[in-house]
Amino acid sequence: MRRRAGLLKAGLLTLCLALVTAVLTACSGGDADEPVRLRVLASPDLAVLTPLLGELKEATGVDLRLDFRPDAETKAPDRARYDLAWLSSDRYLRLTAKSAVQGLQRTATMTSPVVIGLRPDVARKLRAGVPGSRLTWADIADAAATGTVRFGMADPRHSAGGLAALVGVATAAAGTGGALRPGDVSCDRLRGFRSGHTLTADTGPALVDAYADHQDRANALITYESDLLALNATDRLDDRLEVVRPEDGMVLADFPLLLLDASHRAAYAEVTQWLQRDSTQQKIMQRTLRRPVNTTVTRNPQLREPVGNALYFPDQLEVIDALLNDYGDPNRPATDQVVFLLDFSGSMRGDRMAGLREAFADLSGADSTASGKFTRFYRGERLTVIRFGGRVLEEKTVTVTGPKDLKTLAGTVARGGYGDATAVWSALDHGYRTAARELAADPDRSVSLVLMTDGENNAGLAYEDFVRRHQALPAAVRADVPTYPVHFGEADAGELRRAAAQTGGRMVDAADSSLSEAFKEIRGCH
Amino acid sequence: MPENRPVTEEPRLVVTRPPRRRLRRALALALPVPVIGLVLLVAGGNLLLPLRQVVTIEAKMASKRDFFQDPEVERLLMKHGFRVHITSMGSREIANQDFEGYDVVFPSGQPAADLISRERAEANRPVLLYRPFVSPIVLATYRNYAEALVDAKVASAQPTPAGRPMYYTLEMQKFLHLARGIKKDGDEPRKAGGYRWDEIDPDEEHVRNGNKILAQTSDICESNSAGTYLGLVAFVENQNDAPDDEQEAAKLAQKIKPLLVEQGLPSSERAETYLSPDGQSIAPISVIYEHQFLAHQIRHQAQKGSADDERVLLYPSTRFVTEPQLVALTGDGARLGELVSEDPELQHRAMELGFRARNTNSGGTTGDELTEFLTERHIPVPTTSSDDTRAVLPPLTLLEQMIKIVGDCPDRKGEAK
């Protein structure tokens, strides 16, 4: 067919030649001599395709001038400056700059899922602890919290790849099976995961370079499958990364080419047709290790692995904003502190105390559910336990560096020494003084209080006294340190709820579930 | 021959103008062998082609570009002196955007075509409409997922003469109940937010997937298939009735919205995704047109000698047949519309691409010709049960209103805010 086409081509041209000038003009006239030059806003992830642009120009007469911008995927394209946009993903733009990208012609050019590459020793260790060796994002978060996994990931505020990773992990953490809704992200469950984020960059390619150059700073890399495969194919790594596609799902990028200036639709059609050709798709696959969109191209063996289930991507900007806001600047370590105010009055003896100790054990890593893995105590987190009865009985603060610190904490909770009264509001007032001291030492720290009590206040300050003292606190403490009361036993739910409202927190009821569940629900609600 | 697009190089050459460098090279190649070239040209039956006036039609279309981009269709059109230049976008988007400079727009269903013809009529520039073929809306899935739905008593296999079933009937009401967290008719929702695959198949007998059970559509604000699916869901959720007035439509739209937005940000090109090797991972159930599925099976059969056994169709028990309408905006456009609707060769080719002929569809059964064609190729023929309900879409203005509510779509061009 193709050969015949070639001969026909020759035949037709001969015919043209033999005919009068008028016909020749019809064959070659017009402005076709001048290549069409299009300005393309491009994500740095597309730089790897630069060598193909010459062939594209040769075949179609369209000269794509790619302008690589690190913020191409997070800023509305300047349509006066660019004719096309070629991104790894346009999802963020579709949410933020809806009007700027709505209704544009859009062609997917290749695909790649966001997955995680683990150093073989880390992969082995993680797999050994998981039934069926099927790793999930929850397992990764758990391992990040213990310091076992230290990963590199692009800054989700700038890179679509980083954002896809963040959305993927957050969707897995919410565990609803649907697209994230505002209610799912009201609590930040990614603090433990984030504590393992030790290496970052603004773009995908910069992240890959950073990892290759600083292999002592991370033992895992969360990015496009294609980047991991390409990096493994170089000699830049001490240990090749094992590509793991987490069981609970991934987010797929489809590298769309968008037509910004509709007057270039003819050239756009030429370019997209060329890009979707078998031969081009083959070349793109070889060069980028991304998966072809064309179904007829035979894939490299490593690209035949199932991609894993695609997670539904949220369609509400406020969800993305909440995620980005909670995650913050990955260059700055998360410094969180939780002050636990625990009621050690006599009524806590027996089952209730057993429940409390179990709750601490669960938060220290004993809870093997997905939600337990996302909400556990993590490395670098600062934890204070204040035991109280009629007065404060003991106060202990640790910064988690390993199991021994968690053991110290468990010891504090395990020690008996019950009080004979319940001074709820005096204890909370004490907690705020601790918080004020800690905040003064480190103003960037995010501090919250958890107040667990099983009885009504019968000693010390009255609730109104506490409120007065709270209002007299420095503004930063008053505004930024919420209290999460846990309602248990015979405690006064009304007062606890008022205290939560007063401080910007939220009351959780442990009466219907367990202290473990209640603590888990609170965790991360900074 | 691979299905990639730019296959019809012969006809294109006639009118496209190769860049000079290519021309020069081709001339150098051609000069020594002018006679051979000419002879081949005659043998190819295209001798008169370069001399005839070829009309280039500027067209905007969505999924029906499958037809116009088919190499055989391109060849037949060229025989009649047409070449079609396609701008590709969703059907509703076609109606939303300016069509200045176009001869033809071809949305995939009636609603978008109605929007266009209404608008043009108001502007005193009436259009001509052609309906060359039809195709039902279907839910395309994979065998494992279909079997999981069968086990959950939500779907049942259509009788099949031999081998594994390719077609299933999906009980729409039960399917939507799953998304509402209801397993049995009359039950209160037991699962807030609806069931996930791993909850109806906990032992992973068929599938391993923690995502919610739903059919994924393309952008409801842009596409006809998504808008039609909305109409279908609304019909089922409204006790097999379409809403009659604005108030009813708004209420119904709010009611079905949770069922349709759970997929989050929609992706484009459902059929391409469905047919891709990673399709099952990306979307277990996609709302597409029957012709897209049949065309795939016909192609698979021709290339591999057997049908694709993993891809199967769920026919909703409440059916809706879409009628793509070719809207002619110019005289050349009208000539094209007439040609594709009347020309026997083009009509036959449409059937070979999985479309149903319009006139034979009146009984709700597969057209005899399509049945015969599929049977000859050992591809199972879908059957329609007489029990099936045929959905009715609400009137255009109400459908538009519902689409906007469910999809939070921006206003159409020129509309007052």
Angle at A170 between CA A367 and CA B268, to 5 degrees: 140
The parent domain of residue B175 ranges over 136-322+378-407
Q: Is the pLDDT of residue A318 over 80?
A: yes
Closest residue by Cα to residue B277 from A312, A245, A225, A110: A110
pLDDT, average across residues B384-402: 86
Which chain B residues have a beta carbon less than 8 Å from that of A18? 34
User: What is the torsion angle, in degrees rounded to the nearest 10, for the CA atoms of residue A352, residue A142, residue A382 and residue A499?
Assistant: -50
pLDDT at position B185, please? Answer: 65
Please name the residues between 235 and 254 in chain A that touch chain B, using a CB distance below 8 Å.
Answer: 247-249, 252, 254
Helix (H) or strand (E) run with residue B86 in it: strand B82-88
Higher pLDDT pick, A526 / B154: B154
Confidence at residue B416, expressed as pLDDT on a 0 to 100 scale: 37
B89–A276 C-beta distance less than 8 A: no
Window 184-223 of B, Cβ < 8 Å to A:
193-194, 196, 208-212, 221-222
- Residue A356 φ/ψ region, left for φ over 0, alpha for ψ in the -120 to 50 degree band, beta for the rest: alpha
Q: Which residues of A215-254 are buried (b: 16+ CB within 10 A; e: fewer)?
A: beebbbbbbbbbbbbbbbeeeebeeebbbbbbbbbbbbbb
pLDDT tens readout for residues B401-413: 999 999 998 876 5
Q: Is residue B412 part of a domain?
A: no
Q: Are B215 and B152 within one domain?
A: yes
Domain co-membership, B206 together with B142:
yes
Helix (H, G, I), strand (E, B) or coil at A241: coil
The per-residue pLDDT for B99 is 86
- pLDDT of A494 above 70: yes
Instruction: State the pLDDT at residue B217.
Output: 96
3-state secondary structure of A334: coil
**Confidence band of A27 (pLDDT split at 50, 70, 90):** very low
Residue of A nearest to B277 (CA): A295
B44 vs chain A: nearest CA distance in angstroms? 9
Are B128 and B209 part of one and the same domain?
no
Interval A55-91: pLDDT, tens: 999 999 999 999 999 999 999 999 999 999 999 999 9
**Whether residues B221 and B336 fall in one domain:** no
Quick one: B183 and B317 in the same domain?
yes
Task: Identify the pLDDT of residue B51.
Answer: 53
Min distance B29 CA to chain A CA atoms (Å): 7
Selected residue with higher pLDDT from B233 and A417? B233
Average pLDDT over residues B380-392: 81
A111 touches chain B (CB under 8 A): yes
Give the three-class secondary structure for B98: coil
Query: Bridge-partner residues for A231, per DSSP?
Result: none
State what percent of residues in chain A have pLDDT above 90.
Answer: 81
**Is the CB of B89 less than 8 angstroms away from the CB of A306?**
no
Query: Does pLDDT of A144 surpass 80?
Result: yes
- A332 in contact with B at a CB cutoff of 8 Å? no
Type of residue found at A487:
H
Tokens of A497: 């709820």
Is there a contact between A10 and B20 if contact means CB atoms under 8 Å apart? no
Distances from the Cα of B169 to the Cα of A213, B241, B287, angstroms: 56, 20, 14
Taking CB atoms and an 8 Å limit, are A32 and B17 in contact across chains? Answer: yes
Residue numbers of A between 489 and 508 with CB closer than 8 Å to B: none
Residues B244 and B302 reside in one and the same domain = yes
Q: Tell me, yes or no, if B261 comes closer than 8 A to chain A by beta carbon.
A: yes
The answer to whether position B413 is within a domain reads: no
pLDDT of residue B14: 37
- The verdict on B282 touching A (C-beta cutoff 8 Å) is yes
- Nearest by Cα to B170 from B347, B67, B317: B317
Q: Is residue B101 part of a domain?
A: yes
Q: Which of A222-231, B30-39, B225-234 has the lowest mean pLDDT?
A: B30-39
Mean pLDDT of A16-22: 45
d(CA B380, CA B372): 10
Provide the greatest CA pair distance for chain A. Answer: 112
Q: What is the pLDDT of residue B4?
A: 45
| A55 and B CB contact within 8 Å | no
ipTM: 0.85
Are B120 and B172 contained in the same domain? no
CATH of the domain at B43: 3.40.190.10
Q: How high is the pLDDT of residue B361?
A: 41
A103 → closest Cβ in B13, B222, B263 = B222
pLDDT of A407-442, one tens digit each?
999 999 998 789 889 999 999 999 999 999 999 999
Q: Does A307 sit within 8 Å of B37, measured CB to CB?
A: no
Question: How many residues would you count in chain B?
Answer: 417
**Per-residue pLDDT, A335:** 81
Give the per-residue pLDDT at B53. 83
**DSSP class per residue in A430-498:** HHHHHHHHHHHH-TT-EEEEEEEESS---SS--HHHHHHHHHTS-HHHHHH--EEEEE-TT--HHHHHH
Task: State whether A277 and B6 contact (CB < 8 Å).
Answer: yes
Given pLDDT bands bounded at 50, 70 and 90, which one contains residue B386? low
A–B CB contacts, 8 A cutoff, strictly below: 189
B384 assigned to some structural domain: yes
Residues B150 and B289 in one domain: yes
Selecting from A9, A277, A306 the residue whose C-beta is nearest the C-beta of B13 gives A9
Residues A35, B19: C-beta atoms closer than 8 Å:
yes
Per residue in B79-123, pLDDT tens?
999 999 999 989 988 988 888 899 999 999 999 999 999 999 999
Check residue A524 and give its pLDDT.
56
Touching check for B50 and chain A: CB below 8 Å?
yes
pLDDT band, very low/low/confident/very high, at B370 (cuts 50, 70, 90): confident
B124 and B163 in a single domain? The answer is no
Is B393 inside a domain boundary? yes
Q: Is it the case that residue B152 has pLDDT exceeding 90?
A: yes
pLDDT above 70 (res A25)? no
Percent of chain B, pLDDT > 70?
Answer: 81
Whether residues B117 and B258 share a domain: the answer is: no
pLDDT in tens, B318-344: 999 999 999 999 999 999 999 999 999
Contacts of B339 (CB under 8 A, 6+ apart): B77, B80, B82, B346
**Average pLDDT rounded to a whole number, residues B29-53:** 48
Q: Are residues B318 and B328 in the same domain?
A: no
How confident is the model over B8-19, as pLDDT tens digits?
333 333 333 444
What is the residue-wise DSSP string for B301-356?
HHHHSS--SSEEEEEESEE-EE---EEE-SHHHHHHHHHHHH-HHHHHHHHHTTPE
pLDDT (0 to 100) of residue B367: 63
Cβ contacts of B5 on chain A, cutoff 8 Å:
273, 276-277
Tell me how many degrees the CA angle B174-B179-B182 measures, rounded to the nearest 5.
Answer: 60
- Prediction pTM value: 0.86
Confidence of residue B270 (pLDDT cuts 50, 70, 90): confident
Number of domains in chain B: 2
Could you tell me if residue B3 is inside a domain? no
Give A129's DSSP letter.
T
Instruction: Please compute the mean of the pLDDT values over residues B175-194 and round it to a whole number.
Output: 79
Domains of chain A are 1-30 (no CATH), 112-253+305-327 (3.40.190.10), 336-522 (3.40.50.410)
Tell me which residue in A94, A277, A311 faces B4 most closely, judged by beta carbons. A277
Shortest CA gap A269–chain B (Å): 8
Task: Give bridge partners of residue A339 from the DSSP assignment.
Answer: A384, A449
Kindly tell me the burial class for residue B342, based on how many C-beta atoms sit within 10 Å of its own C-beta (0-12, 13-18, 19 or more). Answer: exposed
More confident residue, B3 or B199: B199
The residue of chain B with its CA nearest to that of A34 is B19
Kindly tell me if the per-residue pLDDT of A226 is higher than 50: yes
Query: Could you tell me if residue B371 is inside a domain?
Result: no
- Which tokens go with B47? 């001798």
Rounded to the nearest integer, the mean pLDDT of chain A is 90
A265 touches chain B (CB under 8 A): yes
Q: Residue A277 and residue B266: Cβ atoms within 8 Å? A: no
Examine the domain organization and report whether B340 and B403 are in the same domain.
Answer: no
Are B17 and A296 within 8 A, CB to CB?
Answer: no
* Residue pLDDT, tens place only, A151-185: 999 999 999 999 999 999 999 999 899 999 998 98
Which pLDDT does position A433 carry in this prediction? 96
Q: pLDDT confidence of A34, banded at 50, 70, 90?
A: confident
- Say whether pLDDT at A378 is over 50: yes
Pairing of strands A446-453, A336-343: parallel
Q: Tell me whether residue B4 is in a domain.
A: no
